[in-house]
Structure 1
Amino acid sequence: MEHKLDYKKTFTLGFGFFAISITWSVYNAFMPLLLGNYLKSAALIGFIMTIDNYLALFIQPAVGFYSDKINTKFGRRMPFIMVGMPLAAVFMFLIPQTKSLYALVFALLFMNLSMSIYRSPVIALMPDITAKQHRSKSNSIINFMGGIGSLIAYLIGGRLFELNEGYPFILSSFLILFSFGVLFLKIKEHRDVLHYESAEEKRNLIQGLGIAWKDKNARNLLFAICSWFIAYNGIETFFTKYGQSYLGIQPAQATTTLAFISLSFLVFAIPAGIIGTKIGKKNTIRMGVGLAVILTLTLYLLKPQQSNMLLYMRILFLGVGFAWASININSYPLVADMSPLGLLGTYTGVYYLFSSIANIISPVLLGFLIDLIGYQIVFLYGAFFFGLAFLFISQVHDKRAENGND
C-alpha cells in the first residue's frame, strides 16, 4: 500500500524543529555576547559554548535508543518530548536572569541537557510518520519551519537584543512552550505513526552504536556530517563577535547579516527536498558542500575596508543558505535510510552524536585559532572543513545513497 505524504501532519511536526532552531540560533548568536560580559578569551568562550555537547554525546544516542524500546500510552517519542521541551523553555527563560558567570553557566548547562532529552525523539518522529520515499520532502518541510525559527531569532532577536540582552532568550522560551502545545495536542503517536520498525533481534545500546560504526558507508557519512557541522557551527558561533571585532559592525547588523542565510535556507528548503528526491540525496549534498567551499573561500577574501563589503557578504550568504539547505535537508533522511530494522531512533541519536562532537570541537578550535591569528581566520576555517566534508561524502557508495526515491 502506497502512503501519500500528509502535508498538514508534517507541518505540525515542524513545530518541534521550529523550537529547536530558534533556541540554537538565539543561543549561538547571543550567548557568546553574554559570556563576553564576563570573559575576554575567545577560546574560553568557545569552550563554555561546548560544555552542553559533552552531555549530548551520551544523552542523545541513549535517548534515541530507549525511544525505540519503550511503549507508553503517549507512544515512544512523546514521553521524552513532554519532559524535555517544558524544561528547555524554563532554563532558556532563566539564562538572562542570571547575575554571575557561574549562574549563567548553570542555566545554559541545564537548558542544553533539556534539549538533549527531546531532540532525537522529535526528529525520529518524522520517519515514524512518513513513508520512506517521501522523507526528503518531509524533512524539507520540517526544516522550512526550522528556517522560520532561525529567521525570527536573527531578525527579531537582533532588534530585541538592542532593547535588552535577555529579550531574545525570553522570546525563545515562550515559542518553545507554544510549539510543545501544538505538538502535544496535534500529534498522537498511536494514531499517526505508520508503523514502528521492530528489530529482528534484541540489541543493547552499545551493539546498536557498533552496527552504525561498522558500516563503512554510514561511517563515511557520519564523518562528513561531523565535518560540515564543524564548519557551519564555527561560523555561526563566532559571527557576531567576528562582525563586532573584525568588521567593526554592531551586533544587530551582524545578526541581520546572518539572517540572509536563514532567509535563503527558508526559500530553498522545500526545493532542496524536491532536488534530493529527483537526483538523489547524496548528489544533492555533494553539490551543496562543493558550493559551500567556494562561497566560504570568497567570504574569506572580503576585507573590512572594502566598499559595499556588507552588501557583498549578504549576497554571498544567500548562496550559503542554498548550499546549507541542500546539505541539511537531505543528510538526516540519508542516515534514516541507512538505519537497519529497529534502529531508527539509535541512528537518529548517532546522527546527533556526530553533530555534537562537531559542536564540541568547533568553538574551542576556532576560538583558539582566533586567539592565535585573529578573527580573519573564520571563513578560511569554514572552507577547510567543508572541503573535508566533500571528501568524506564522496566516499559514500551505497545503493540506498545513490537513489533519490530509495
Structure 2
Amino acid sequence: MKTNKRWYDLLTLSGYQLGLSMASNVISPLLLPALVLLYMPPEKKNTYTALVYVAGLAVAMFIQPVMGMLSDRSTAKLGRRRPFILWGALLNILFLFVIGASLLFQDSPLNSFFKSSFGVTASLVVLLLGIILLQVSSNVSQAGQQGLIPDVIQEHQRGRASGIKSVLEMFPAALVLLISPLLDKKQFWVVIGVLMVFYLVTMLVTVVFTKETPLAEKPPRPTGRPVLRMLLLTIIFVGVTQLALWMVKSSANWLPMETTSLALRVAVVGLVGLIGMAGSIFIGVYFGAQVGIGKEAKHQKSFIWWVVTRLLFLAAIGSTRNFAMFFVKDVLKVPNPATVTTYLTAVIFIFLLITSLLGGYLSDKMGRKKLLTAAGLLAFVGTAVLTFSTTIPMVLLSGVFLGLGTGTFMSANWALGTDLAPSKDAGRYLGISNLAGAGAGIVGSSIGGPLADYFNAIQPGLGYPVIFALYGGLFLLSVLLLPKIVILKHE
C-alpha cells in the first residue's frame, strides 16, 4: 500500500548523515593536517598526512561494503540498519578520544623508541591508530545509514529523501566556518568535543525517530566470497599505488641533483607522478572490474571507462582539498590557515550547491558527456588558478571554478553511471564505483604528499603548485577519455 512519510520523518531518517558529514569536513582537511604538523618535522608533513589519511581510506574501502552486506543479513530486533548506526556512532566517540589522546604523547618516553625504530613519534602512531579505528567504526555506521532510504522509504518518495540527505551532506561545509578558528588557536579538544556531540545527537535523532521492520529470518546468501572480493580489491588499489609511488621516488633519484635544472626536474618527476596516478587508476579499475563483475567485464567497456573517468575526477578534487591547508600556510603564509581553508571550502560548497541543483536537469536536456566535459574544464581552470595563487582572493576564485566543476560533475556523472549499468545488476555495478571512490583518495594523496615534500625541499612552497598541476592533469584526462564511453540511452 502506498504511504507517505512526512517531511520531518525524511529529515530524521538522514539525521545521522549530518554527523558523518561534519566529521569528514573537519577531520581530513583540517584536524589531521594540524595534528601531523605538531608531531612530525614540517618538511615531512605532507608525506605523513598522506600516510595517515591513506591508511584510513584503505580500511574504509574494505569495511564499508562488508558492513553493508552484514547489515543486509541482520535480524536484530531494532532493525537491520539502526544497530549499526548506534554502535558505530558510540565507537566513533570512543575513537575520537584515541585521536585526542595523541596530544598526550608529545613528551612520552616512547618517542625515542618509535623514532629509532620507525622514524616517527609516539603521537603520530597513536594518531594513526585513532584514524584507522575511527574509519572502522564510521564505516560501520555509514553502512547502516546508507541502507535506510531503500529500506524505509517507498519508491515514490525516495527522490525527496535523497535530496534531504544530500543537503545534510553539504550543510556542514558552512558549519565548519565556526570550528576552524578553534583549530588556528590549537583548541583541539574543543573541536573533538564538538564532533562527539554531533555524532551522539544526530545518531539519537535517527535511531529514536526511525522505525524499521526487523527481518524475520536471515537471508540465505553466502558472505564469504564477496568479503574476499572486497579484500582483494583493497589490496589491488593499495599495492598498485605503492608501486607507482616507488616509480616516482626512483625517477627523482635517477636525476643528479647537481646537474639537473629545476625546470627539468619538475617536468620529469611531475610527469612520472601524473603517469603514476593515472596508471594506478587504470590498473586498479581494470582488476577491480575483473574481481567485482567477473567475465561480464569484457562486455562492459563503457561502464569501466566511466569508472576510470569518475576516479580521475574524484582523485583530483579530493586530494586538492586535503593539501589546501598546508598550501595556504606555506605559500600564502597567513596566521590562520585553517580558517582561510574553510573559506575556500565554503566557496566551493556554495557553487557546488548551485550547479548540483541544476546539473541533473541540464544533463537530461544537454546530454551527460557535454556536461561532464564542461565540469572537467571548469575544475581544471580552478586548479590552474590555485596553482598560481599568491593571495586569498585568488584562492577563493579558484574555489568558484572548483565548486562549479564539482557540482556539475556530481550530478551528471552519477546519472551517466545509472545509464550504463545493466538494470538487473545496477546495485552490484554501481557498488564497484562506490568502493573505488576510496581508491581515488588513496591514489591522489599517497603520491601527492611525498611529491609535495620532495619539491618543497628543493624550493620552499614549490611542491603545492606541482601537485595542483598534476591534479589539473587528472581533470583533463577525465575529459579526454569521455569519447571512450558509448551511451545508448541518452545520446
Q: 2:343·2:396 contact (CA, 8 Å) conserved in 1?
A: no
User: Structure 2 residue aligned with 1:96, among 60, 76, 100?
Assistant: 100
User: Structure 1 residue aligned with 2:468, among 369, 379, 382?
Assistant: 379
User: Do residues 81 (structure 1) and 104 (structure 2) align?
Assistant: no
CA distance in 1, matches of 2:416, 2:156: 11
Q: 1:227·1:388 contact (CA, 8 Å) conserved in 2?
A: yes
CA distance in 1, matches of 2:321, 2:7: 31
- Aligned in 2, Cα 1:86/1:398: closer, same or farther, shift over 3 Å? farther
Q: 1:13·1:183 contact (CA, 8 Å) conserved in 2?
A: yes
Q: How many residues align?
A: 389
Unaligned residue ranges in structure 2 (runs of 5+): 105-122, 230-289, 456-462
CA distance in 2, matches of 1:364, 1:247: 24
- Aligned in 2, Cα 1:289/1:136: closer, same or farther, shift over 3 Å? farther
Q: 2:14·2:164 contact (CA, 8 Å) conserved in 1?
A: yes
The superposition leaves residues 244-295 of structure 1 with CA deviations (integer Å, 9 ceiling, x where unpaired) of 0112123222322322212333454434444456556665444323321222
- Aligned in 2, Cα 1:384/1:167: closer, same or farther, shift over 3 Å? farther
SS in 1 for 2:486: coil
Shift of 1:398: 4.2
Q: 1:22·1:149 contact (CA, 8 Å) conserved in 2?
A: yes
Q: 1:212·1:347 contact (CA, 8 Å) conserved in 2?
A: no
Shift of 1:20: 2.3
- Aligned in 2, Cα 1:281/1:359: closer, same or farther, shift over 3 Å? same
Q: 2:351·2:400 contact (CA, 8 Å) conserved in 1?
A: yes
Shift of 1:10: 4.0
- Aligned in 2, Cα 1:294/1:263: closer, same or farther, shift over 3 Å? same
- Aligned in 2, Cα 1:216/1:186: closer, same or farther, shift over 3 Å? farther
Q: 1:288·1:327 contact (CA, 8 Å) conserved in 2?
A: yes
Q: 1:136·1:276 contact (CA, 8 Å) conserved in 2?
A: no
> Which residue in 2 is equivalent to 1:145?
168
- Aligned in 2, Cα 1:129/1:54: closer, same or farther, shift over 3 Å? same
Note the 1:7-406 alignment, pairs <5 A: 8-28=8-28, 29-40=30-41, 41=44, 42-98=46-102, 99=104, 100-128=123-151, 138-153=161-176, 155-163=177-185, 164-190=187-213, 204-205=225-226, 206=229, 209-210=292-293, 214=297, 215-249=300-334, 250-251=336-337, 252-276=339-363, 279=366, 284-302=371-389, 304=390, 309-332=391-414, 335=417, 338=421, 341=424, 344=427, 346=428, 349-373=431-455, 374-399=463-488, 402=490
Q: Greater CA deviation, 242-251 or 325-334?
A: 325-334
- Aligned in 2, Cα 1:394/1:180: closer, same or farther, shift over 3 Å? farther
CA distance in 1, matches of 2:326, 2:148: 36
Q: 2:101·2:126 contact (CA, 8 Å) conserved in 1?
A: no
Shift of 1:180: 1.0
CA distance in 2, matches of 1:357, 1:350: 11
SS in 2 for 1:37: helix
The superposition leaves residues 163-186 of structure 1 with CA deviations (integer Å, 9 ceiling, x where unpaired) of 413322321221122111121123
What is the TM-score of this pair, normalised by structure 1?
Answer: 0.82
Rg larger for = 2
Q: Greater CA deviation, 2-11 or 370-379?
A: 2-11
Q: CA RMSD in A?
A: 3.5
Shift of 1:12: 3.3
What is the TM-score of this pair, normalised by structure 2?
Answer: 0.69
Unaligned residue ranges in structure 1 (runs of 5+): 192-197
> Which residue in 1 is equivalent to 2:111?
none
- Aligned in 2, Cα 1:116/1:297: closer, same or farther, shift over 3 Å? same
